[in-house]
Structure 1
């Protein structure tokens, strides 16, 4: 035994202590009475849960089609009904433990059973209630080992051993327990922050009475608050002095001023865009370099444009501030377009404006009221025909796909064909003169 490693000796010592404890329980009348109380508590918890659970399920189940905060809360509480039996057993066992300690002066057996019911509750929580893959993984590999250590009353010993192990990172010293606690708390906090961020984002997007720019600004502000609070809370859990964070923040500020100027400029430009509301998600814009598209997303650094052919262009926010941007969505509700056409010189051109204006006004997308009515104008006398153009107004943004002009040109073609008007095409007349002195061909 003397040549064995220390860990083997400790394991044998724990095993001997467990064996002595088990013999004491098996040979003690007080232990048997506690076993009996455990069985009674379990049977009583099963009987109560079988009668109460259907009633609670009926009470908490919302009616079909109901929505709202109260309905969501009822659905959330309904998820925890599988925990009813182990929690009842845990509470009844706690009452039995108090009775046995008063009568026999000890309650180790029933205390072990109470911890066992708590482990059972943790097992049901991980296996039946948690549906998120990340939370289920965290419960399986973190919560269940901690519950098993608690079951055998080894949690305090494990904390002491882990706290005694020191990990040095420069001038900062951590215990292994603090690192484990920080890793678990950090993953849980930032998962919770991501979930809270998605919930708040969905809630803000549903507030249709707010302007799109205001909604985007509120979403960005909620992200900063949620993840900033999660970071500070994690630092507090790990026991890190926040003055070190202040020094780090100062160094980060210097880094932004020297090496991250463009990132800082884009971030500030994004905030300005959201505050002014001149450019926001859903607007069709044309940049100074000719790129054009609809803004589908705005981040802290850049805006995402989707072109008419489905390509996505990442445009830094600073470009919207320092260069000229044409925003067709913010320019007005009505836009004017022009369609050109020609007719033959044999046509009575005095009749063309009336028939073309009537045909174009009949197009569904074209406005036909007052000053927005179509106007057909004579432009020039061309080489092949008489050139006209018709100006028309439509509701909507820039006709980037040409759908309005296509409908208008179809209507012009159809009305001219219906009235027998010829649309010319380029023609050339070639005069051939024979060479002087060349004899005519024989007949």
Structure 2
């Protein structure tokens, strides 16, 4: 055994101690009485759980159509019902421990049983209650091993060993225990930050009285505040003095000034866009570069446009500040379009505007404000007289809405009903000399 590695020697030593403790318990009347108390406590907890569970379920289960805060709290409490058995057994075992310590002066076996019940509770919590994938991962690889060490009575020893083991990075050294503590705390803090950010974003998104740009700005401010507080709490838990980060902050500032100019510019441009509100989620915009679509999302770096053919276009926020942007949805969504057409030279053109304006005005989406339909003479073409009817609608003439197509149908039907001919090209061919023989 002396030739084995140190870790193997320690493991064999713990196994030897465990075997000696087990033999001692097997030959001790006090230990057998404590085993009996553990079994009785578990059986009582099992029977009580089977009796209590239906009653508690009936009390805590709300109606299916209830969605208020009390109903959500009752559903949340109902999730923890599987913990009733191990926690009730733990409580009953605690009462038995007081009895055995007063009678036998010892309670090691029953204390071990209590820790086993806590391990079972941790296992049920991770397996049956926690639904979030990240929290379940933490529970599986952190909570359950800690509960197992606690049940075996090795948690203090493992904690001491991890505290004494130190790792160094340059002139800075940390204990393994502090790194593990920081990892756990950081994971929980940033999970909580993500959850809080989702809840705050959902709440702010429901405030219909706020402008869309104001809601987006409030969401970004809440996100920065939540994760900023999480970072400060993590630094405090790790015991890191924030003044020591001044040099690192200066280096990051230099990096932003030289290598990350575009990222910083896009971030500041995004804040300006949210403050001014000249382009926000839901607006249909067209940029100088030809990008056009509805803004479906605005991030810290870019805006995402969705075109009518289903493509997503990522446009840096800086482009909205430094280039010309046409916003078809700003200051109201009414837009003007026109539908060109031609009539024959044999037509009484004085009657055409009234006929076309009356026909187009029947379209349910054509507006009377700011202007009603207006038919204008545009010119005299090679084959006919050119007209165009201007009309105003709410929305964009593309995607689900095909206003120009509908108006052209109305124009065609109106001209046909009034006997007005839509011309087609005519060509006169002159032959010099002898005409060709057919």
Equivalences for residues 200-215 of structure 1 within 5 A: 200-215=200-215
What SS does structure 1 have at the residue aligned with 2:330? helix
What SS does structure 2 have at the residue aligned with 1:278? coil
User: Which structure 1 segments of 5+ residues have no match?
Assistant: none
For 1:184 and 1:265, how far apart are their aligned partners in 2?
35
For 2:88 and 2:346, how far apart are their aligned partners in 1?
100
| Residues 397 and 404 in structure 2, CA contact (< 8 A), matched pair in contact too | no
CA shift in 2, pair 1:7/1:396, >3 Å: closer
User: Which structure 2 segments of 5+ residues have no match?
Assistant: none
1:226 equivalent in alignment to 2:226: yes
In structure 2, the residue matched to 1:418 is: 417
What SS does structure 2 have at the residue aligned with 1:329? coil
For 1:402 and 1:61, how far apart are their aligned partners in 2?
47
In structure 1, the residue matched to 2:68 is: 68
1:157 shift after superposition:
0.9
1:296 shift after superposition:
0.9
CA shift in 2, pair 1:402/1:136, >3 Å: closer
1:265 shift after superposition:
1.7
What SS does structure 1 have at the residue aligned with 2:347? coil
For 2:157 and 2:357, how far apart are their aligned partners in 1?
92
In structure 2, the residue matched to 1:18 is: 18
| Residues 61 and 74 in structure 2, CA contact (< 8 A), matched pair in contact too | yes
Equivalences for residues 15-414 of structure 1 within 5 A: 15-368=15-368, 372-397=371-396, 403-414=402-413
For 1:116 and 1:74, how far apart are their aligned partners in 2?
29
1:26 shift after superposition:
1.9
Range moving further from structure 2, 342-351 or 331-340 = 331-340
CA shift in 2, pair 1:401/1:21, >3 Å: closer
| TM-score with structure 1 setting the length | 0.92
For 1:203 and 1:93, how far apart are their aligned partners in 2?
45
CA shift in 2, pair 1:28/1:283, >3 Å: same
The C-alpha deviation readout for 1:105-147, integer Å capped at 9, x for no partner, is 2110110111111111111112211222332232222211111
CA shift in 2, pair 1:7/1:376, >3 Å: closer
For 1:93 and 1:271, how far apart are their aligned partners in 2?
59
For 2:320 and 2:183, how far apart are their aligned partners in 1?
41
The C-alpha deviation readout for 1:62-102, integer Å capped at 9, x for no partner, is 11111122222111111001101111111121122122222
For 1:3 and 1:344, how far apart are their aligned partners in 2?
110
1:368 shift after superposition:
4.1
| TM-score with structure 2 setting the length | 0.93
Aligned residues: 437
Structure 1 vs Structure 2 CA RMSD: 2.2
For 2:288 and 2:2, how far apart are their aligned partners in 1?
84
| Residues 328 and 398 in structure 1, CA contact (< 8 A), matched pair in contact too | no
What SS does structure 1 have at the residue aligned with 2:338? strand
For 2:60 and 2:199, how far apart are their aligned partners in 1?
23
1:168 shift after superposition:
0.6
CA shift in 2, pair 1:178/1:357, >3 Å: same
For 2:334 and 2:23, how far apart are their aligned partners in 1?
92
| Residues 357 and 374 in structure 1, CA contact (< 8 A), matched pair in contact too | yes
1:416 shift after superposition:
1.1
For 1:357 and 1:239, how far apart are their aligned partners in 2?
77
